Structure 1
Amino acid sequence: MMLPRWLGPGAIAFVVVWLLLLAAGRSAFFRDPGTFWHVTTGELVLKDGFLRADPYTFTFPGTWWVPYQWLGEVGMALAHRVGGFDVLLLGAVTILATVFAWLTARLLGTGLHPILVGAVIALALAAAGSHFHVRPHLVTLAFMVIVLSLLTAADAPGPRFNRLFWLIPLCVIWTNVHGGVLGGIGTIGVAFAGWVGFWVLGLPTPVMTRRDVRVLVLVALGCGLSTFASPYGLDMLKTWNVIMGAPELRDIISEHRPLDVTAPYAWPVLALAGVYLFVLAGVKPRAVRATWLLPLVWLALTFSRCRHASLFTVAVVIAITAMWTHTRWAHWLAAHRPDLYQPGRDGVRPWWANVWLPVAVVVIAFGLQMGRVPLPLIGSGWAVHDPEYWPVEVLDALKANEPRPGEPNKLFNSGYVDGGFVIYHAPGYKVFVDDRCEVFGGPWLKEFSETEQSPEPGPVLLKWEGRYGPYDFALTRTATPIDDWFASSPTWCVVKVTPTATFYKRR
C-alpha cells in the first residue's frame, strides 16, 4: 500500500516505535540508579556551578570527582523541573524513536519490502533494548547514528569530505554530554584508517590523493582535541581512564560484563550479527568498503562489554542499508522476487512528510504532561518506579527520618543501586555507596560486592564502621544476609519492613 505524499514512512515508524517504547518503558526505563543521581547532579550544577568533589557519600566525602556528563545532567534536571519523570521518559523515548525511525526510513529507501524492513528493525530493537534507560547515554546512541551516517555517505564515489568537518562540533557537544564520545572518535579513526589503508591496497575508498589524507588527519585531530572542550579539561580524560581501566567492573556492574551468549538478552544480538554477516557475504570481496566493516569492530567490543550492544545494533542497520544494493542477494531478489525487493519502490516525498506527525504527537504528549492530565502512555503520571525493584514503599519512612543540616546523616545502603535512589529522594542522607565507579574504584567496589553476597557480612560491616564512622541509618534489601545482620543486632531498631527493603535506625 502506497502512503500519501504528505505522510512519510519515517513518520509512521516513529509513532509505532514511540508508542511501543512508552508502553514498555513505563518502569523498565527507570531501572538504572544513574537516572536519579544524574537529575540531582544537574540541579547542583545549575545551583552551585561545576563540581569537583563528591557531595553524596560519607565514605568518600570531598574526594575528587567531576560530573563528566554535566551537560546531559543539566538537560535531565531541566526536563525534570518541567514535568518530572514523565517528561524524562518522554524525552528518552523520543530520542530512541527518532533513531529507529531514521534507520527504518533509510532501510526502506533501499527498496526492501516493509515487512522485511520491519523484521530487521524489530530485531535491532530487541538487540539494543536491554540498554534503554533514562540516562545521557541515549545521546551517544543518537550521535553515533549521525557519525556512521556521515561516514557511510562519504565512503562513496565523489565524496564530500567537507561534510566531515561537522564531526568536530558534534564531538564538542558529545564530550560534555556523555563519555561515549570516545567510541565515536574511535569509530571515526578506524574509518579514516580503513580508507587510507584501502587506498594503499587499491581497494574501493573515497581517498584519492594525499590531500584527501591530510583532510582526514585534520578532521581526526579536531575530533580528538574536542575532548578538551569542557569545563573540566583533563579531568574528563582522567575520569574516563579510571572507569575503563578498572577490570573489576566486569564482575560487578552488569553493563560492563562481557556478552553472555547463554542469556536471552544476547540472542537478538547474535541473530542480528548473523543477518549482518549474511548480507556482507553477498558483497564481492573487492567491492567491500571500509565503513561496511565497522560493525565487526563494535561486535568485538560488544563481546568485551555488553553495554556496546546498542551501538553495534545501529552500526549494523546503517551498514546493511549502505551495502544492500551491492549484494548478490539484492540482484537475485530484484530478478526473482520483485514483491520483496524493488528499487525505487517508494516515491520521493518532501522532508516534512516524515516530521510533522512525530512533532505533533510529542507536542500533544508534552502539553498533557504539563497540564497534569492523567492519560495512559502519553499523559501525566504514566512513568512509575517499580516497587519490586526500588525501595519505593519505605520512602515515607526515609523522608520522615531525613536528617536536617548538622544532624547525624550516615546511611548504610546494602545495594549500590539504592545509593542513587536515596540521593534523589532523600538528599539529607549521606550514602555509603552508589554506582559512580570513578569515585570508589574497582577494588573497593569488588570488596563491597563480595560483602553484599557473603553469608556472614558482619565482620566487614564492623570494619567499615571503624573506618568511616558509625552508621546512623541503614537501608537493606529484605531477607538478605546484610539485612539479617542488622535485624539481629541490638544496636538497631526496625523503622519499616517491606518485601523489597527494610529501613533501620540506630537506637
Structure 2
Amino acid sequence: MKFPRWLGPGAVAFLLIWLILLGAGRSAFFRDPGTFWHTTTGELVLKEGFIRADPYTFTFGGQWWVPYQWLGEVGMALAHRAGGFDTQLLAAVTLIAAVFAWLTVRLLRTGLHPIVVYVTIALALAAAGSHFHVRPHLFTLACMTVVALALADADVARPRLKRLFWLIPVCVVWTNVHGGVLGGIGTLCIAFAGWLVFWKLKRPSPIRSWRDVGLLALVACGCGLSVLASPYGVDMVRTWHVIMDAPELRDIISEHRPLDVKAPYAWPVLALAAVYLLVLYGVKRIAIRVTWLLPLVWLALAFSRCRHVSLFAVVTIVAITAMWKHTRWALWLAAYRPDLYQPGSAESRPWWAHMWLPAAVVGTALALQVTHTPLPLIGSGWATHDPAAWPVDVLDVLKEHEPKPGEPNHLFNGGYIDGGFVIYHAPGYKVFVDDRCELMGGPWLVKFDEKSRTPGTAIDDWQEEYGRFDFALTRTDTPFDEWFAKSPAWEVVKVTPTATFYKRRAP
C-alpha cells in the first residue's frame, strides 16, 4: 500500500502503536508502585528543592536518600499537574510509539515488505512490553535507541565520528532522568573497544587512525563524567552502587529477576532473539561489524535481569536494520522473492510527513485532558487503576482516617508495593515499607518478604524496633492480614477482596 507524499509510514506506524498502547495500557501501565511515589517525589522537588533524606517512612524516615531520578520525577509531576494520570499515560505511550515508529521507518528503508517489517516491530513491542510502565525508565528506552542508532550509523564505510560528541549532552540529561545511563555508557565503551580491536585485526571498523582512537576516548570520558553532572553529584553514583550491589533483589523484586523462559512474557524475547541470530548467521564472518554484536550483550543482560529485555528489543531492531542488506538471505530474497524484498524501493519523504499526524493527535489528546473533557482512549478519565492490583476499594476509609499533622501516623502496609500507593493517595501516613530498595537494602527487604509469606508470622519485634503501629493496610487473606485479624488490639475498618484496613483500638 502506497501512502501519499504528505503522509509518511512513520506517522501511520506511530498512530497504530499509539492507539493500541493507549487501549492496552489503560490500567496495565499503572501496575508499578513507582508511578505513585515518583509523582509525589517530583512534587516535593518542585516545592522543596533537592531533598536528601527519606520523607515517606517511619522505619527509615530522615535517613540518607536521594531521588536519583529527580528530573524524570519532575516531568511526571508536571504531567500529572496538567491532566492527572491520563496525561502521564499519554506521555508514556507517546514516547514508546515514537521510538518504535522511528525503528519502523528505519527498517522499511531496507526495502523489506511492510508486512515483514510490521511483524518484526510487533515482535519487538511484545518482547519489550512487559516493562511498559509509567516511570522514568521509559526515557532509558528512548536514549538507548538513540545510542544504538548513533553507533550503527558511525560503524559504516565512511563514518563521521565527530557526530558522537552530541551523545555527551544526551548522557547529561539521561543521568538526571534515570540510572539506565550506565547501560548507555557501557554500550558506548563496548562498541569503542570493539572498534579498536577490529581495527588492529584489520576487520571492518570506523577507526582509521590513532587520532580516531583519541576522539572516541574523549567521547567516552565525556559520557562517563556526565554521571557527576547532577545536583547530587557522587551521591547519584553511590545510590546506583547500592542498587546494583544487592543480589537479594533478584529474589524479591520482579524486574530484577532472571528471565524466566517458561513464562509467557519471555516467549517474544526468545522469538526475537531467534530472528536476530538467524539474520546474524546470514552475514559472512569477515563482514561482521561490532555494533551488530551488541544485541548479544543485551540478551545476556536480559537473562541476568529481565528488566533489560526492552533494551535488548530496541538494540536488536537497530542491529537487524543495519546488517540486513549484508546477509545471504537478502541476496536470495532480492533474486527470487522481490515481492518480499526490493533493495532501494523505499520512497523518500520529507521529515514533516512523519511528524504532523503524531503532533496533531497528541496535541488533541493533551487539550482534551487539560480541559478535563471525557473521551475514550484520548480524553480525560481514561486512565484507571485495576482494583484487583491496587487497594482502591479502601481509599475512602484510608483518606477518612488520614492523620493530620501532629497526630499518630504510623501505617503498617503488608506489601511493599502498597507503600507507593499510600504515599501518593494519603500522604498524611508514614508507611512501613515501599519498593525503594536503595533505601532499605536487600537484606531488610528479604526479611520483610519472608515474613509476608510465612503462615503464623508475628510482627511484635518490629513494633519494638520502630514504634507502635497506628494503622494497618494488608492484602486480604495473607499472613500479615491473619495476624491483625486475630490481635485484640486491632479492629477492622473495611474488608475488600483485595485489601483490609485496620486501626488500633482505643485503650
TM > 0.5 fold call? yes
Residue matched to 1:500: 498
The CA distance in 2 between the partners of 1:423 and 1:40, in whole Å, is 7
Superposed CA deviations along residues 117-137 of structure 1, whole A, max 9, x for unmatched, are 011011101100000000000
253-262 or 370-379: bigger deviation: 370-379
1:231 corresponds to which residue?
Answer: 231
- CA deviation string 1:250-288 (max 9, x = no partner): 000000000011111101000000000000000000100
Q: Determine helix, strand or coil for the equivalent of 2:151.
A: helix
Equivalent residue number for residue 441 of structure 1: 441
Partners of 1:112 and 1:57 in 2: CA distance: 54
Whether 1:467 aligns to 2:465 is yes
What's the CA shift for 1:373?
A: 1.3
C-alpha deviation, 1:59, in angstroms: 0.3
Offset, 1:61: 1.0
Measured after TM superposition, the shift of residue 248 of structure 1 is 0.3
Q: Which amino acid aligns with 2:242?
A: V
CA distance in 1, matches of 2:122, 2:63: 44
Q: How does 1:234-245 map to 2 (within 5 A)?
A: 234-245=234-245
* 1:314-359: CA deviation from partner (whole Å, max 9, x where unpaired): 0100000000000000000000000000112221110000000000
> What TM-score comes out, normalization by structure 2 length?
0.99
- Work out the CA distance in 2 between the residues paired with 1:145 and 1:422: 34
Q: Residue type of the partner of 1:18?
A: W
For the residues of structure 1 that align with 2:4 and 2:46, how far apart are their CA atoms?
A: 46
Distance 2:425 2:226 in 1: 35
How far apart in 2 are the matches of 1:4 and 1:369? Answer: 31
**Which residue does the alignment assign to 2:172?**
172
The separation in 2 between residues aligned to 1:484 and 1:446, in whole angstroms, is: 20
Give 1:183 shift. 0.2
Quote the Cα distance in structure 2 between the aligned partners of 1:408 and 1:219: 53
The match for 1:353 is 353
Q: Does 2:104 align with 1:119? A: no
CA distance in 1, matches of 2:9, 2:169: 30
SS of 1:387's partner is coil
Alpha-carbon displacement from aligned partner over 1:152-205 (angstroms, at most 9, x marks no partner): 000001110111000100000000000000000000000000100100111000
Which amino acid counterpart does residue 476 of structure 1 have in structure 2?
T
Counterpart mapping for 1:274-285 below 5 A: 274-285=274-285
Other structure's SS at 2:279 match:
helix
Give, in whole Å, the separation in 2 of the partners of 1:488 and 1:445: 25
Equivalent in the alignment of 2:301: 301
Q: Structure 1: any 5+ residue segments left out of the alignment?
A: none
CA drift at 1:50: 0.2
Of all paired residues, the percent bearing the same amino acid is 73
Q: 2:321 matched to 1:313?
A: no
Q: Distance in 2 between matches of 1:312 and 1:443?
A: 29
Aligned letter for 1:337?
Answer: R
After superposition, residues 43-442 of structure 1 pair within 5 angstroms as 43-442=43-442
Tell me by how many angstroms 1:292 deviates: 0.4
Residue aligned with 1:355, SS: helix
Q: Where has structure 1 moved over 4 Å in runs of 4 or more?
A: none
Q: How does 1:16-55 map to 2 (within 5 A)?
A: 16-55=16-55
In structure 2, how many angstroms separate the alpha carbons of the residues matched to 1:126 and 1:263?
A: 13
CA distance in 2, matches of 1:370, 1:468: 43
3-state SS, counterpart of residue 503 of structure 2: strand
CA distance in 2, matches of 1:45, 1:367: 26
C-alpha separation between the residues in 1 aligned to 2:105 and 2:15? 13
For 2:118 and 2:350, the matched residues in 1 are separated by: 22
Letter in 2 for 1:465: Q
Residues 45-74 of structure 1 show CA distances to partners (whole Å, capped at 9, x for unaligned) of: 001000100000000011100000000000
Aligned to 1:476: 474
Q: What letter is aligned with 2:497?
A: P
Give the whole-Å Cα distance in 2 for the aligned partners of 1:352 and 1:83. 27
1:169 aligned partner, one-letter code: P
Q: Distance in 2 between matches of 1:304 and 1:444?
A: 22
Aligned length: 505
TM value normalised by structure 1: 0.99
Residues in 2 aligned to 1:399 and 1:347: alpha-carbon distance in whole angstroms: 58
Aligned partners of 1:440 and 1:80: how far apart in 2? 27
1:216 maps to amino acid: L
CA distance in 1, matches of 2:69, 2:421: 18
Amino acid at match of 2:423: I
Deviations 1:335-394 (A, max 9, x none): 000000011222111000000000000011111111211111001100000011000000
- Alpha-carbon distance in 2 for matches of 1:188, 1:456: 51
2-structure distance, mates of 1:156, 1:252: 43
Name the CA distance, whole Å, in 1 between partners of 2:5 and 2:56: 54
Which amino acid is 1:479 matched to? D
Letter of the 1:433 partner, please give it: V
Opposite residue 471 of structure 1, the aligned amino acid is F
Point out where structure 2 has 5 or more consecutive residues left out of the alignment. none
Amino acid aligned to 1:420: G
Cα deviation per residue 1:191-244 (whole Å; 9 max; x = unaligned)?
Answer: 000100100111000001000000000000000000000000000000000000
CA distance in 1, matches of 2:392, 2:135: 20
Please tell me the residue identity of whatever aligns with 1:184. G
Q: CA RMSD of the aligned region, Å?
A: 0.5
